[in-house]
Amino acid sequence: MKLRASAVFALSLLLATSVLAKDKTKRTLPPSVLHARTIAVIIDPDAGISVDDPRANQVAQKDVETALLNWGRFEPVLSTQTADLIVVVRKGQGRLVNQTISDPRQNRRAGVIDPTDNGVMIGGQHGQQPDMSSAPPLGSRSDSPHPQMEIGGSEDSFTVFEGGGDRPLDAGPVWRYAAKDGLRAHTVPAVAEFRKAVAEAEKAAAKHP
């Protein structure tokens, strides 16, 4: 029985790896993305805090905000309630199974985003993010931090959702990028790929006004 359970578990991991490998990038963008002006960057609500690198997701979040500020097309904001687009980031751990600490407070930032010479600075006081999905985090027991095992998420992920509504993350993403080091500091390849996707969508829109 134990061997059968192990085989089923291994098969599940293999299938998950196959799906992730095939779904690296979703390049088709709807017109609403081209008309968007504001963008909020949050940490994946299902992402736990890495035992090896506790600030990995928070650092990736700020790196993405800095890259978006440098791009200049969208205005990064903290409030997901007023954002035209919502970017959900998650730092990969390089392994399919990871021990993390579940803590929903990762997204409880308050303030405003100000550009600095070295990136962004969070200041001010304007409350916290509301819940954006009706589905609770996998394995969640309460709002209190607790150990958990995460399956999948070996690569960095950058997922774009349309803003608006009470549960914007339930509507499904409009664009997704997942790759090793996709949220690497300074260069942030995920933002570079998103810029390419926007440019391609603009060219397509110009051909078919």
Q: What is the pLDDT of residue 153?
A: 65
Question: Over the stretch 102-141, which tens digit does the pLDDT of each residue have?
Answer: 666 667 765 556 555 555 554 433 444 555 655 544 334 4
Please, what's the b/e burial string for 156-167 (b: 16 or more CB within 10 A of its CB; e: otherwise)? bbbbbbbbeeee
Does residue 148 carry a pLDDT above 80?
no
Chain-wide mean pLDDT for the chain? Answer: 75
Mean pLDDT of 2-16: 41
User: What is the secondary structure of the chain as a DSSP string?
Assistant: -HHHHHHHHHHHHHHHHHHHHH-SB-----HHHHH--EEEEEE-TT--EESS-TTHHHHHHHHHHHHHHHH-SSEEES-TTT-SEEEEEE---SSSEEEEEE-GGGG---SEEEEETTEEEEES----PPP--SSPPTT---SS-EEEEEES--SEEEEEEE--SS-GGGG--SEEEEETTTT-TTT-HHHHHHHHHHHHHHHHHHH--
Rounded percentage of the chain residues whose pLDDT exceeds 90: 42
Backbone angles phi, psi at 36, to 5 degrees: -70, 150
Q: What is the pLDDT of residue 72?
A: 95
CB 117 within 8 Å of CB 84: no
Q: Which of 132, 111, 122 is nearest to 46 (CA)?
A: 132
Highest mean pLDDT among 14-23, 41-50, 96-105, 115-124: 41-50
Name the more confident of 49 and 120.
Answer: 49
134 pairs with which residues across the strands? none
Q: What is the pLDDT of residue 154?
A: 79
